[in-house]
A and B are shown apart, each in its own frame.
Chain A
Amino acid sequence: MPDPIALDKDRLLLLKNRRLTQRLHTLFSELDGDEDLQRAFMQSPVEVLGLEVTGLRLDRSQAAAVNRFVFAALGNEEFRSWAEAYDREHGERSREEVLRDFSEALARTGDPALMRGLLTMLDSGVRLEDPLVETIIVKAESIAIGNWFIYKVSGHDDIDDLIVSPEQFQRISRQLVFRAQELSAGGEL
């Protein structure tokens, strides 16, 4: 885990962790020449990065299952809106409350793709009670969007629709939500 950093008014705001950044140098170098690792990182940066850096613990199939669920969630406007608002408005809720609210929101959508994603995730052994799952589902939207984007780019799937101009590139994560909704509407998620 990164070293804890405590600041006082005279300290510089620098988030330095030599072990992490050294790890990133190594990871990026490995990624440059390892397509399998690229694929894994596309599918699940949480898994690739997390095991050695953040302390998160998911195996590859679990991480992929969580990601798949999040992709499905991205395609569901109601659930996405709920997740965004929930994280913003209910940051202090207990784990039990989060799980209850999450389940209710999921049920309200009645989305088969979401349900399939949830079942796959549960089949993989992921427990909803795990705080990590809450973090991933509710807070790590950008990871899933990034995954989704890069999967599509690398997978040569609908590539003509996805290549974006440079000035749009940094904006892509939010905009891709709408594309995810289109795919969901077309039953492609």
Chain B
Amino acid sequence: MASSSAAPAGHGLFHQGRTLSMMLTFACTAECSQCSTLSSPRNRDHLPAADALRAIDEAAELGFLNVVFTGGEATLRWDDLLTCIGRASGHGLRTRLVTNAHWALTPEAAETALDRLLDAGLDEINFSTGDEHARFVPLPRVAQAAAATARRGLTAHVMVELRQEREVTAARLLAEPAIQELEPEARALVRPSESPWMPVKPFKVERYPDGVASRREDLPKLAGCDSVLQTYTVQPNGRVAACCGLAMRLVPELNVGEVAGEHTLRTAIDEAEDDLLKLWLRAAGPEAILAWASDRDPEIAWEGMYGHRCQACLRLYKDPKVRAAIVDGYEEEIPAVVQAAWLKDRYVPSRLSELFGTTNDPTHPASLTPPEASATTEAEIADS
């Protein structure tokens, strides 16, 4: 084997297509039950603009692909938001805002806000709604914002909370007058999708439609976690999480650094990639690890409990039996985990790039990550 020095610090094992998720504030106009980021109108924590800008600058240096502004409700830090979008855009990073659309009080207000965001350099906008959000931001307001987005030729991704019993659905959003009044071409740009609304307790079981909660037979269909080690989330308290962050405030292991003072995004990445469990989550996903743990300890029951994989991840970190199984048996999984990581994040992207001219840029026609898939992670539904 040829000798070679280690990769430079901060370069990382997985250096293609990272996302910087920026939580400018934990404040939110909504106070949803089971908000997984623990955001609320009463939480006024916010990230100093200087820290946010420094993180954006460093993300650009490290070759990040895009910046997602989420929260809390990022638009509550309106001036900082526009400044940060401008800075990211100036670096050539794609930008996305996840919002609950509280600002779309009237069609005119929606148009004005959108124009200012787009003028600042915003590339994509996603909306969050559902029974919880709609208690604080009425559905017609979301429809107004989505319609204004579509009229500007942008796709309006709308994530709708999914539970067994619910009033707000994707179909109901599409039936809103603001959407119905759109020309067909613009209406086609309003794309709602439903995503499980998760409890932020590891053993609380939410009721979902049939087939949503994972079972062992679903494992072949489930991917590894595409968020961990790919998305780095800067929180209002300056901490950096190694994923898009649902329940990250409840899982200290997911917090890998800070952006304040001498701390950098680079050191946070190094810290995250030093943890084999995060590599394992990336390669296999939390459900597969729970299944593996239950093979070792039959008392670990998990099937049919988790519709949202971030809750399965929360279980993995909080259940002493699962933790014990992992510590006891992870070594035998190392070769498979490492190979899967290499295949997924290094070899196959480069190989496909050579063969087909593909790229990790989701806007590229031959992208490895289609825009639909990259537009909004499941996790982002609960962020605003």
Question: Interface residues, chain A, CB within 8 Å of chain B?
Answer: 1-2, 5-7, 9, 12-18, 20-22, 24-32, 34, 37-38, 41, 45-46, 48-50, 53-54, 56, 87-88, 91, 135, 139-140, 142-143, 146-147, 149-150, 153-154, 159, 163, 165-167, 169-171, 173-175
Contacts and interface: CB of A to CB of B under 8 A. Distances in A.
Which residue, of A31, A32, A45, has the highest number of chain B Cβ atoms within 10 A?
Answer: A45
Contacts of A20: 276, 334
Interface in B53-98: none
B206 to A, nearest CB: 24
Given A16-B274, A30-B4, A88-B295, A9 B373 contact: no
Interface string B316-353: 01001001101100111011101110111011101110
Contacts of B373: 166-167
B281 to A, nearest CB: 11
A7 B325 CA distance: 11
Interface of B is mostly: helix
B221 A171 contact: yes
Contact of B13 (A28, A54, A140): A28
A50 B340 contact: no
B171 interface: no
A32 B224 CA distance: 23
B223 A45 contact: no
B344 A7 contact: no
13 contacts: A2-B330, A9-B320, A15-B275, A15-B277, A30-B4, A31-B347, A41-B342, A49-B334, A49-B335, A88-B295, A139-B332, A163-B356, A166-B373
A104 B297 CA distance: 27
A73 B32 CA distance: 50
Contacts, number: 146
A16 to B, nearest CB: 5
Interface string B257-283: 000000000000000011111001000
A188 B350 CA distance: 28
Nearest to A40: B1
A19 to B, nearest CB: 11
A118 to B, nearest CB: 22
Nearest to B338: A49
Contacts of A9: 320
A170 B370 contact: no
A25 B342 CA distance: 11
B351 A154 contact: yes
Contact of B295 (A53, A54, A87, A135): A87
B296 interface: yes
Interface of B: 1-2, 4-7, 13, 219-224, 226, 252-253, 273-277, 280, 285, 295-296, 317, 320, 323-324, 326-327, 330-332, 334-336, 338-340, 342-344, 346-348, 350-352, 355-356, 367-370, 373
B7 A25 contact: yes
Contact of A13 (B7, B219, B226, B323): B323
Contacts of A12: 252-253
Given A13-B317, A29-B4, A150 B347 contact: yes
A122 to B, nearest CB: 22
A1 B324 CA distance: 19
Q: Rank and list the top 6 A-B pairs by shortest CB-CB distance, nearest first.
A: A170-B223, A174-B220, A15-B276, A45-B339, A25-B7, A142-B336
B274 A21 contact: yes
B331 A2 contact: yes
Given A30-B1, A175-B220, A91 B295 contact: yes
A29 B221 contact: no
Nearest to A167: B373
B332 A135 contact: yes
A45 B328 CA distance: 22
A81 B350 CA distance: 34
A165 B368 CA distance: 8
Given A31-B347, A143-B335, A170 B273 contact: no
Nearest to A165: B370
Given A150-B347, A170-B224, A174-B219, A5 B327 contact: yes
Nearest to B326: A13
A32 B345 CA distance: 11
Contacts of B369: 166
